[in-house]
Structures are given as structure tokens and as C-alpha cells.
Amino acid sequence: MFVEYVGDYDHQRPAQLLDGGDAWRFTKMQQLDFHLGFGLNSSTVDHYFGIGYSFRFDALFGGPVRNSL
């Protein structure tokens, strides 16, 4: 789980937002994650939500699957 402040000050009006999210690994090879954020000034979006799915290809080419946490 994470929470972070993001500030973008690159040759434009400053954009500031608060971002947070979490990840859930439900098998050794698959993970579901999400994040959400809120703009802190008028240069950013009001809010956003994202969701993602990840999977590993460790054994795709005949190699062993590692038992990492």
C-alpha cells in the first residue's frame, strides 16, 4: 500500500496531486493492483482511478519458476 504526493514543475503551471494505491498478489504468478488520485490544484484532473492485472512468464521458455515472495 502506498500514498504519495506528486508535483510536476516542468515549464508549465505546476500540477500537484495526491496518489495512493495497493496491490494484491493472489497467486505466485498473478497480481491485481489499483490506484486512485485527487488533484490538489486547478492544473490537474479532479480525480482518477486505475486498476491493473499483472502476470509472470518465468516458466515460459522452460526455466524454473522461482519461489519469490
What are the angstrom distances between the C-alpha of 62 and each of 29, 58, 59, 65? 15, 8, 5, 9
pLDDT at 13: 86
The single residue listed with the C-alpha cell 515472495 is 69
Please tell me the pTM assigned to this model: 0.65
- In tens digits, what is the pLDDT along the chain, a chain of 69 residues? 999 999 988 878 888 999 999 999 999 889 999 999 999 998 888 999 999 999 987 767 776 666 655
52: Cβ contacts below 8 Å, ≥ 6 apart: 32, 33, 34
